[in-house]
Structure 1
Amino acid sequence: MFQSAIAFLETQGVPTPFATAIIRLLLGSICGGLIGLEREMKGRPAGLKTFSLVCMGATLVMVTNEFIYVNVANSTGDSARMAAQVISGIGFLGAGTIMTTGNDRVKGLTTAAALWVTAAIGIAIGTGFYFGGIAGLIVLYLSSFTYRYIDAVIVAKSRIMRIYVEGESEEFMLNLVGFFQKNEIRIISLVRKDENKWFLKDSAATIEMDLGRKRNHLEILDEIRKMKELRYIEEV
């Protein structure tokens, strides 16, 4: 298919090296955009445009690297040098997507990892390894959806549970601790929070618990939601 597209451009008067570069750049942009689409639909910091640019950029680096290697350096030197720089350099962009929320929850690790893989796919496409780039895209999509489901099942029934909760008074916190004791739930850590509260007089905390046995987290959250003076609760 790709050879046919290159052949078509050649019939339009585009030299073979330039036709190849155009096809690779377009494919890199499309593959990156497809990866970013899944991230954007989940409201992550880096989305369709960012991933498309990363993949196309990595592809362009490899196309340029091939041009230099063949036409400037006369096939001498290290042909993988620029690829190595892309792999190491993409880290700064990935780091920019990682953040710690007000509830001490780290977000963006998956997006950072996806950016790194997107750069690798761009390198594969840029070197002409189309099968590797497309296969990487397919595996990434399949693993993303599969692992998201598995992760949700595991987390929902894990012994360890972490919540952020806000109540209207200190009495609510005392009642919450009493609820844990009644249900034989051991508190591992309880960190009081003074920032990001809905109301200044509210009582807020991040609580990590050992449930003692596998229990459904949603059922525990539903029980806590029935308590009086609860302002807000989420699992983190």
Structure 2
Amino acid sequence: MSSARTPSVSPGGHRAMSRSGTRLGAIRAEDAESRADGGGYADRGRPDRGRPDRGRADEIRGPRSGATRVRSTDVRSTDARSAIGAALLPHAPRWLPLTALIAGPVLGALLGKVLGGYHGPLFALLTIAGAALATAAATPNGRWWVIPALPPFAWLVAAGAELLWHDPPYADAKAKAVGLVHATTHVFPVILIALAAMGLVAAVAAVRARPRTHHPRGARRA
């Protein structure tokens, strides 16, 4: 009978097997430790692995959530004031600024002609009121053309009324030039007052649009 041959293992093989056994033992120990903590290898990739429970997380996020709500309230109130302050008449139609700017001097001259003075107090009042209304209905970008457009337009209306309705009519070019000087003299103070009214309306709108910090009751101020 022939004896069975026993496989021989070289010293290098013994060392490799020893290292493999050591690694396997370390992996098993790590697996047992992770399972004792409440999860295994399958839990390592989970997003909630190692995070506190929901109640603890809510306690941690509590103060920050309150501060976030206060800041969001401040932003909403600031946006609301900015939307209102951008135009004193936020729901006015887009055609109102131009219409008010034109209608003021024109109606003033027409009604003044009927009542006996196309450069009288009625012309001044309607021109100033139309200018203020146009500024209140205009947006911040619209005010850049509404305000500068008033002086030339008011002067054109006053000059046209002077040349058309002067009694007796101007005979020649020299007389018409004198009439233009008279129209300029009458309309210049009206233009100054109207510009002042427009500037006041624009200043009020700018103050209302300025952002302000709103602190609710009970909120801690920094």
Do both share a fold (TM > 0.5)?
A: no
Which of these two proteins has the greater Rg computed from alpha carbons? 2
Higher helix share: 2
| RCO higher in structure (CA 8 A, sep ≥6) | 2
TM-score normalized with structure 2 length = 0.28
Higher strand share: 1
